[in-house]
Amino acid sequence: MAPCVQMRSTACRLLQIWWTPCPFSQISWIACRLLYPLLLHSRGSSRVARRIIHVAASEPKPVTMLLGPGAHEQHELHRSMLRTVQFIAIILTAIALVPGGAHLSALPNKITLPVDQYFVVQGIYRGWALFGIVLLAAIVAHVEHALLMRGRRPRFALAVVALVLMLASLAVFFIWTFPANQATSNWTVVPDNWEALRTQWEYAHAAGAVLTFFALCAVVAAALSRGEAADVR
């Protein structure tokens, strides 16, 4: 491959990103200006150089729309990636809701149990800590989903709401649920204030379940709604 053609191909790959109004726009603009002299003095690359400057000075828009041949393929790749991330985020959030939903459903019957029976029932949850891996994976998926949704209102707002709700659910666990587990050695030791710890543990799980449920609703709404960018068409 000739050097100028190779440089042109490399520049196109570097610039096939979403130009969105974010703190990184200035960095992208500087990169474009730095690439301009190199492309300007390379044979056959002046057209690409002009497009780089045009993108740097234009309103935020998908750079793939200005790259000519290959833009459709890049759009389809982005569309496929977005749908995959949405699917993963929805599935992981639904799985993360399972333990919280179970705790919420059992709360009315468990909250009044005497100490002996309550601690026996708590033993059935051994090993459920592994659901924490699912929760962390769901948060990562929501972060990626929000990044892919940048500039697509109101879908971006829904993606951010889902992420914030998942983070709030994690915060509830570490602020209220985890300390109760520690104080009771995972419900194998009965402290004097066990009733207060029981109330704290039960209602913290209930709050986490509600937050996760609304996060699931938000991410599903983001996947089903059509924003002004209409990127899935």
Tens digit of each residue's pLDDT (9 = 90 or more) over 137-165: 999 999 999 999 887 778 999 999 999 99
Residues in a beta bridge with 62: 18
* DSSP state at residue 62: B
Q: What is the pLDDT of residues 4-15, one digit of tens each?
A: 545 545 445 544
Where do the structural domains in the chain lie, given as residue ranges? Answer: 3-68, 72-224
Task: Tell me the three state secondary structure of residue 151.
Answer: coil
Cα end-to-end span (Å), the chain: 35
Residues constituting the chain: 233
pLDDT of residue 72: 58
Between CA 111 and CA 92 the distance in angstroms is 29
pLDDT of residue 63: 44
What is the pLDDT confidence band of residue 232, given thresholds at 50, 70 and 90?
very low
Q: What DSSP line would sit under 87-144, residue for residue?
A: HHHHHHHHHHHHHHHHHHHHHHHHTT--HHHHHHHHGGGTTGGGHHHHHHHHHHHHHH
